[in-house]
């Protein structure tokens, strides 16, 4: 009955497990947080105990129904990486927010389960502290690959997960085995070496984390490796050989919008707050906000080698957001002539200390000397904290001019 209801609702797979079926998951999660691999995602530490075991989240749960929806693309998402003047958006974010698509359908199925079996139910998508991937493995939908994501023999790496907790007793399905073998394609594909070991992810090095969860400037050491990825990264997912069995998504709301497959950076650099919200209406991209998104686009512009983008990057030096201004400095340092960049620095009076540090670091890199982290007598602060206006060029000797 549950399988039929799930298929009618658009889910590709459904299976059942028990709340005590993932005994190793809590320890692995605690180690992940202890190693600080969660970066600035404080909510992972805050919800650690509730996330560690399903019964901690809801003591009355007796069965867990795990459902998966296929979102496989109709092409190789890495192809856009060969178009540096275009932005690469992760496959999952090229249309509607999957939370909105899945949650309503989970509620429909949950209602029918209650009507037929009795008991109580709770519905969860991945905004709740539920370890969906270990539960999906225990239920037999797939296994957690070396990239820590779920892999299915039928759908590859492209599955959204949701779960229904219920007080009803439902016979559980058999767990899936690991079929990765000696393959390490996903690990080798990572542009930033975010996997310290198979089955372990350091989110602080992951491009998805850096472009989505990270709220501050993107660390310098990762900027070039980001390339033209402006929201998330699919490299480890796309590299998995099991994707040869993947089937294209059939849910219309998850099929990529044409204008989000490879949007021109030149157009994205012109987005103000209203235009950003309109363009990404209904998309998960909207949740990071215009400023973080423009930060990502500017990093990609700096990596593009396209001098035609310099004018639009230059206009963002006067943006209201320090995060945007700082990224614009870095982009311009890679797109314009060293003398032009030095003259630009002479003309700017910047109040934000982090943006000042971006100007100085750009000059330092250009001159092949160790980058300074702040002006004399100052230290970088959180974005938005202000200092007296300073003329950037006036604090730099001639040796700190030029482009790499």
CA 133 to each of CA 18, 62, 140: distance values in angstroms, whole numbers, following the listed order = 14, 18, 11
Q: Is 126 a catalytic residue?
A: yes
The candidate with the shortest Cα–Cα distance to 366, out of 394, 395, 341, 391, is 341
- From the candidates 85, 126, 173, 306, which is the catalytic residue? 126
Q: Which residues pair with 25 in a beta bridge?
A: none
Q: Specify whether the CB–CB gap between 319 and 293 falls below 8 A.
A: no
Structure tokens at 344: 């630009």
Q: Specify whether the CB–CB gap between 15 and 26 falls below 8 A.
A: no
Query: Tokens 């482009």, residue?
Result: 403
CA 177 to each of CA 2, 159, 250: distance values in angstroms, whole numbers, following the listed order = 23, 17, 27
Burial class (CB in 10 A: 0-12, 13-18, 19+), 371: middle
> Helix, strand, coil % (nearest 5) of the chain?
45, 10, 40
Q: Report how far residue 183's alpha carbon sits from residue 295's, in angstroms, rounded to the nearest whole number.
A: 35
Q: What are all long-range contacts of 76-79, with beta carbons under 8 Å and residues at least 24 apart?
A: 76/238, 77/234, 77/238, 78/234, 78/235, 78/238
Q: At 316, give phi and psi (nearest 5°).
A: -80, -5
Structure tokens at 138: 């225990």
Question: 3-class SS at 72?
Answer: coil
Q: Which are the catalytic amino acids?
A: 126
């Amino acid at each position: 009955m549950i399988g039929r209801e799930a298929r009618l609702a658009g889910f590709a797979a459904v299976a059942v497990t028990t709340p005590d079926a993932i005994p190793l998951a809590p320890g692995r999660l605690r180690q992940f947080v202890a190693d600080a691999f969660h970066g600035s995602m404080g909510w992972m530490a805050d919800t650690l105990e509730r996330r560690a075991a399903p019964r901690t989240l809801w003591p009355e749960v007796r069965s867990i129904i795990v459902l998966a929806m296929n979102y496989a693309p109709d092409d190789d998402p890495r192809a856009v990486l060969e178009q540096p003047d275009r932005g690469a958006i992760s496959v999952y974010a090229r249309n509607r927010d999957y939370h909105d698509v899945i949650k309503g359908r989970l509620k429909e199925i949950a209602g029918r389960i209650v009507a037929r079996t009795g008991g109580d139910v709770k519905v969860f998508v991945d905004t709740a502290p539920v370890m969906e991937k270990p539960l999906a493995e225990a239920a037999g939908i797939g296994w957690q690959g070396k990239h820590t994501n779920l892999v299915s023999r039928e759908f590859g790496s492209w599955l959204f997960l949701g779960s229904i907790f219920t007080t009803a007793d439902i016979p559980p399905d058999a767990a899936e085995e690991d079929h990765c073998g000696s393959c390490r394609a996903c690990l080798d594909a990572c542009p930033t070496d975010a996997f310290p070991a198979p089955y372990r992810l350091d989110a602080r090095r992951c491009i998805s984390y850096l472009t989505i969860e990270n709220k501050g400037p993107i660390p310098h050491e990762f900027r070039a490796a980001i390339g033209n990825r402006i929201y998330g990264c699919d490299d480890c997912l796309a590299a998995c050989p099991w994707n040869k069995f993947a089937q294209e998504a059939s849910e219309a709301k998850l099929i990529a919008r044409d204008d989000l497959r490879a949007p021109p950076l030149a157009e994205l650099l012109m987005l103000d707050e209203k235009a950003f919200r309109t363009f990404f209406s209904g998309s998960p991209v909207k949740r990071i906000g215009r400023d973080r998104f423009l930060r990502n686009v500017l990093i990609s512009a700096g990596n593009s080698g396209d001098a035609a983008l310099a004018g639009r990057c230059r206009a963002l030096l006067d943006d209201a957001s320090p995060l945007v201004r700082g990224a614009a400095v870095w982009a311009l340092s890679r797109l314009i002539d060293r003398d032009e960049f030095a003259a630009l620095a002479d003309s700017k009076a910047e109040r934000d200390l982090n943006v000042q540090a971006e100007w100085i670091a750009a000059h330092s890199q250009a001159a092949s000397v160790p980058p300074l982290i702040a002006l004399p007598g100052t230290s970088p602060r959180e974005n938005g904290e202000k200092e007296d206006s300073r003329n950037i060029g006036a604090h730099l000797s001639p040796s700190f001019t030029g482009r790499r």
